[in-house]
């Protein structure tokens, strides 16, 4: 399955880390936009770079005469009838408890709406995949709101094409059962291989964002000291990168969401994160084959199995000469897709886009990224 537009890592670095050098002098170069993924050669070039009875009444009047006394009859005891016993059982039985209606509810959708059909077909999909967990949510009819939240993401990622959305969800569930990204997010990695490569922060006051906080993930490619050591073991690198992605999605707290996601084309999805790809001290002259192989694998994996988890992506500290690639791709992709991607020549320009609640090396008021960022467990 091809990478979806807006793939979380559709621009993973395909460049080789160069020896440490001084940060370029700040400049106010205007941002340029660039695409998510696509089928054209130019888009592929970008992928390589970024790699839920009342009582009876008595009539008024004269009271009737008392009847003559009757002989006292011998008292008899009788066994209760079967009907009486059954009535007693019903009287003694506890009252039925109505299903709980607490919690968020999803707006009603008609029988022909793709989300209705998707939700009704879900049991078959989870049975086939033998797995029902995704991003901290158990997909089931008993968890209707949050289940529909996930299904809506897959529908939006496929422009409401139900068949494609069902296929992508099915493949994602199978992959999660086999790969176990939750374990990857909790795993401990080699410090000498992955130190400084990835961090997650929550930023407040992001311009034009309706969220109180936005989850921002930083991929620091200049921190790679040895390409072969970092990217050479593809399975190990992929586990680390998926673990970082899974952690960032966990920060979105989808299981606690209370606001529905609009239908495709009817408004933004509030449950998405921001990705930063920092190329400071990275050479764009030569492309190491081992880096390119790892890049392509990450692009496909995150594109296939993490749809609609990215709101925006920024490429920072990118040499000005590379801006032409992204500018050219803007001409052949949709405006909606291009809007998600921005190229900045210098890191401190990021504060203009995300506000001041980010690390100081990106123009913010907070401490350095390595101090305020949450990374993967290392030893």
- Write out pLDDT tens, residues 315-353: 999 887 777 777 776 676 666 667 788 999 999 999 999
Lowest mean pLDDT across 38-42, 163-167, 191-195: 38-42
- Domain 16-50+182-378 fold is Phosphatidylinositol Transfer Protein Sec14p (3.40.525)
The two tokens of residue 197 are 């490569």
On average, the pLDDT of the chain sits at: 80
Report residue 7's pLDDT band, with 50, 70 and 90 as the boundaries.
Answer: low
Report residue 137's pLDDT band, with 50, 70 and 90 as the boundaries.
Answer: very high
Which pLDDT belongs to residue 336? 66
Of 38-52, 128-142, 307-321, give the range with the top mean pLDDT: 128-142
Query: 95-103 contacts: CB < 8 A, separation 24 or more?
Result: 100/52, 101/52, 102/52, 103/52, 103/145
Q: Would you say the C-alpha torsion 316, 285, 338, 1 has a positive or negative sign?
A: negative
Report residue 5's pLDDT band, with 50, 70 and 90 as the boundaries.
Answer: very low
Which pLDDT belongs to residue 103? 84
For the stretch 89-114, pLDDT in tens is: 434 443 333 334 568 999 999 999 99
Comparing CA positions, the residue from 292, 274, 293 lying closest to residue 284 is: 292
Residue 374 has pLDDT above 70, yes or no: yes
Where do you find CATH 3.40.525.10 in the chain? 16-50+182-378
In angstroms, the CA 91 to CA 86 distance is: 9
| Beta carbons within 8 Å of 28's beta carbon, 6+ residues apart | 349
Which pLDDT belongs to residue 225? 92
Which pLDDT belongs to residue 338? 72
Residue 152 has pLDDT above 60, yes or no: yes
Lowest mean pLDDT across 170-174, 257-261, 333-337: 333-337
Arithmetic mean of pLDDT, 246-267: 96
Comparing CA positions, the residue from 304, 290, 186 lying closest to residue 240 is: 186
Arithmetic mean of pLDDT, 240-252: 98
Which pLDDT belongs to residue 24? 39
Residue with the larger pLDDT of the pair 300 and 88: 300
User: The tokens 């921001």 sit on which residue?
Assistant: 274
Q: Give me the count of residues in the chain.
A: 379
Which pLDDT belongs to residue 327? 74
Residue 47 has pLDDT above 80, yes or no: no
Which pLDDT belongs to residue 9? 55
Cα-trace Rg, the chain: 31
Which pLDDT belongs to residue 107? 96
């Amino acid at each position: 399955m091809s990478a979806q537009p807006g793939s979380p890592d559709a621009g993973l670095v395909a460049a080789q880390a160069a020896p440490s050098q001084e940060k370029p002098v700040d400049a106010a170069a205007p941002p340029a936009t660039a695409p998510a993924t696509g089928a054209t050669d130019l888009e592929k070039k970008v992928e390589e770079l970024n790699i839920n009875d009342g009582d009876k009444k008595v009539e008024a009047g004269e009271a009737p005469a008392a009847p003559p006394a009757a002989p006292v009859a011998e008292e008899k005891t009788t066994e209760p009838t079967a009907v009486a016993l059954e009535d007693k059982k019903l009287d003694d039985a506890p009252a039925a408890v109505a299903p709980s209606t607490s919690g968020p509810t999803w707006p009603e959708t008609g029988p022909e709406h793709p989300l209705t059909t998707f939700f009704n077909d879900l049991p078959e999909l989870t049975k086939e995949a033998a797995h029902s967990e995704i991003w901290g949510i158990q997909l089931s009819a008993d968890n209707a709101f949050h289940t529909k939240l996930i299904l809506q993401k897959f529908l939006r990622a496929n422009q409401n094409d139900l068949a494609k959305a069902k296929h992508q969800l099915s493949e994602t569930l199978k992959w999660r059962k086999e790969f176990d990204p939750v374990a990857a997010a909790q795993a401990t990695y080699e410090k000498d291989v992955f130190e400084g490569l990835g961090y997650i922060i929550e930023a407040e006051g992001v311009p034009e964002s309706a969220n109180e906080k936005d989850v921002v993930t930083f991929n620091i490619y200049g921190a790679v000291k040895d390409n072969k050591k970092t990217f050479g073991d593809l399975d190990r690198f992929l586990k680390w990168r998926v673990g970082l992605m899974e952690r960032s999605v966990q920060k979105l707290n989808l299981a606690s969401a209370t606001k529905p996601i609009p239908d495709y084309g009817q408004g933004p999805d509030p449950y998405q994160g921001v990705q930063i790809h920092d190329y400071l001290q990275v050479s764009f002259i030569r492309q190491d084959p081992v880096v390119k192989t790892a890049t392509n694998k990450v692009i496909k994996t995150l594109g296939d199995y993490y749809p609609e988890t990215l709101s925006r992506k920024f490429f920072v500290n990118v040499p000005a000469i590379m801006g032409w690639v992204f500018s050219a791709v803007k001409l052949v992709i949709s405006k909606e897709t291009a809007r998600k991607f921005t190229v900045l020549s210098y890191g401190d320009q990021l504060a203009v886009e995300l506000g001041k609640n980010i690390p100081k090396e990106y123009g913010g008021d907070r401490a350095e990224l390595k101090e305020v960022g949450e990374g993967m467990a290392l030893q």
